[in-house]
Amino acid sequence: ELKVEQNPLFLSMQEGKNYTIYCNYSTTSDRLYWYRQDPGKSLESLFVLLSNGAVKQEGRLMASLDTKARLSTLHITAAVHDLSATYFCAVGPAQKLVFGQGTRLTINP
Amino acid sequence: NAGVMQNPRHLVRRRGQEARLRCSPMKGHSHVYWYRQLPEEGLKFMVYLQKENIIDESGMPKERFSAEFPKEGPSILRIQQVVRGDSAAYFCASSTLPDTQYFGPGTRLTVL
């Protein structure tokens, strides 16, 4: 059974700092997704990573995938308050995603 | 191009009543997925449907829960005889091929 674990589950940081969220999964999978969720809202797709060594960047967020280690990271550079949200990783197959518990990120001015 | 639409956004039911949640996928999307999110948890897969077919319902509770995606109209998630433990946010997602899923705004079900 595929299991997905994120850490940390809670992260409070100051604006301008860098930090990384980790996503480990238990069995081989063909794709990994990162989503953002604001309180009371739906999920917004951030990245989809399809192959070992894949790296994608959008603004202050960068995601990478190491399929051999079964690990993905979401790196936040020079955090700003607008990035406060809960971030989920999810592992495929695409028709049956398994989600991590989520990382609640709070960025303080 | 409208996104995934779900209604109602909030639904309150008393124990023993039925809950019907509707999902209209994005235009051109023929794959629909339902997920449940309990407070402070990640989303849990429930069911995957294509038009008129249930492809994978391995995440659906065996009793009281059913889903359909008819040829015409929205996908429906139906919960019969609701209990307090059914209180959660239910999200629908859609895609073209089994690919990146786009999520609707969710229906927040409260069972009194």
CB B98 to CB A42 under 8 A? Answer: no
Which residues of B are less than 8 Å from A42 in CB distance? 91, 103-106
CB A94 to CB B103 under 8 A? Answer: no
Which residues of B are less than 8 Å from A10 in CB distance? none
Question: Taking 60 as the threshold, does the pLDDT of residue B1 lie above it?
Answer: no
pLDDT at B97: 78
Angle at B11 between CA B10 and CA B16, to 5 degrees: 160
Q: How far apart are CA A79 and CA A23, in angstroms?
A: 19
Digit-coded pLDDT (tens) for B36-88: 998 878 899 999 999 889 999 999 999 999 999 999 999 999 999 999 999 99
CB A94 to CB B91 under 8 A? Answer: no
pLDDT at A73: 97
Q: How far apart are CA B41 and CA B91, in angstroms?
A: 13
Question: Taking 90 as the threshold, does the pLDDT of residue B100 lie above it?
Answer: no
CB A95 to CB B55 under 8 A? Answer: yes
Q: How far apart are CA B106 and CA B112, in angstroms?
A: 19
Digit-coded pLDDT (tens) for B13-24: 999 999 999 999
User: How would residue A109 be classed by pLDDT, with cut points 50, 70 and 90?
Assistant: confident
Q: Is B48 on the interface with A (CB under 8 A)?
A: yes
Walk across the sheet containing B65-68 and list its strands: B5-7, B19-24, B75-79, B65-68
Instruction: Pick B45's closest partner by Cβ from A35, A48, A98.
Output: A98
pLDDT at A92: 81
Q: Is A32 on the interface with B (CB under 8 A)?
A: no
pLDDT at A3: 92
CB A48 to CB B100 under 8 A? Answer: yes
Q: How far apart are CA A97 and CA B33, in angstroms?
A: 10
Nearest CA among A34, A79, A71 for reference residue A52? A71
Q: Is A39 on the interface with B (CB under 8 A)?
A: no
